[in-house]
A and B are shown apart, each in its own frame.
Chain A
Amino acid sequence: DAEITQSPRHKITETGRQVTLACHQTWNHNNMFWYRQDLGHGLRLIHYSYGVHDTNKGEVSDGYSVSRSNTEDLPLTLESAASSQTSVYFCASSGGTSGTTDTQYFGPGTRLTVL
């Protein structure tokens, strides 16, 4: 069965360190998204990609970067982790084409703590 996975599921790091969160999907979806979820803020879009070599900034992109070298993976990098980046991170993918927005399938999430 197709799925979307994230690793690690839990991560504790220190302020200033570089951290990379992995996201891998086997749906063969063109569209991939990274969100963070914090109490009181719901899901906030960090970065997204509509295909290989395409990346776009979301509403809370400062301090984060992504790259898309293949269809299956969209790693999220925190260049210099800050305590404000402590959150739960969700990766999602969708197969929307021709201007339509399709269902998003979410990974299980990564709980990141920055000390």
Chain B
Amino acid sequence: QKEVEQNSGPLSVPEGAIASLNCTYSDRVSQSFFWYRQYSGKSPELIMSIYSNGDKEDGRFTAQLNKASQYVSLLIRDSQPSDSATYLCAAPSTGGFKTIFGAGTRLFVKA
């Protein structure tokens, strides 16, 4: 069974700082990765997906993938209090359309 592991946190950063969220996975076959954001009491929503080694940038968010190290990260630049949420790392299961989710990292951005 593939595992996706994250530090549960909480991770606390001051407003304007860079928040760095990390995720490791156990299956070398994984070709794509997803970052979902979940506000308290709400459902998860996709914020980034990454399929290739290297960096992918979308506004203040940058996803980084290193397949050799089986490591994927999410950087949030100029963190805002509205970024306070739980961030879920996810990877597809082998041979199907299921997604394996990590337990999530809680992020707090202090004003």
Which A residues are closer than 8 A to B by beta carbons?
Answer: 31, 33, 40-43, 45, 48, 50, 58, 90, 94, 96, 99-104, 106-109
Contacts of B45 in A (CB 8 A): 106
Beyond known contacts A40-B8, A90-B44, A106-B44: 7 more, CB 8 A cutoff:
A42-B103, A45-B98, A90-B43, A94-B97, A99-B95, A100-B32, A102-B97
Identify which of A31, A42, A48, A94 contacts B101 (C-beta below 8 A): A42
Tell which of B42, B96, B101, B103 touches A40, judged by Cβ atoms closer than 8 Å: B103
The 8 A CB mask of B80-108 against A (1 = contact, 0 = none) is 00000000100011011111011110000
Q: B residues engaging A (CB < 8 A)?
A: 8, 32, 34, 42-46, 49, 88, 92-93, 95-99, 101-104
A-B contact count (CB 8 A): 50
Q: Choose from A31, A43, A58, A109 the contact partner of B97 (Cβ within 8 Å).
A: A31
Which residue of A50, A100, A103 is within 8 Å of B46 (Cβ)? A103
A90-B44, A104-B46, A106-B45 known; A50 and B34 CB under 8 Å? no
Q: In the bound complex, how far is the Cα of B41 from the Cα of A108, in angstroms?
A: 9
Q: Which residues of B contact A31 (CB under 8 A)?
A: 97
Contacts of A94 in B (CB 8 A): 97, 99
Chain B: minimal CB distance from A57 (Å): 11
Separation of A103 and B51 alpha carbons in the complex (Å): 13
Q: Interface centre among B32, B102, B103, by most A CB within 10 Å?
A: B103
How many Å from the CB of B37 to the closest CB on chain A?
Answer: 11
Which of B43, B92, B104 has the largest number of chain A CB atoms within 10 A?
Answer: B43
Which single residue of chain B is at the shortest CB-CB distance from A33? B98
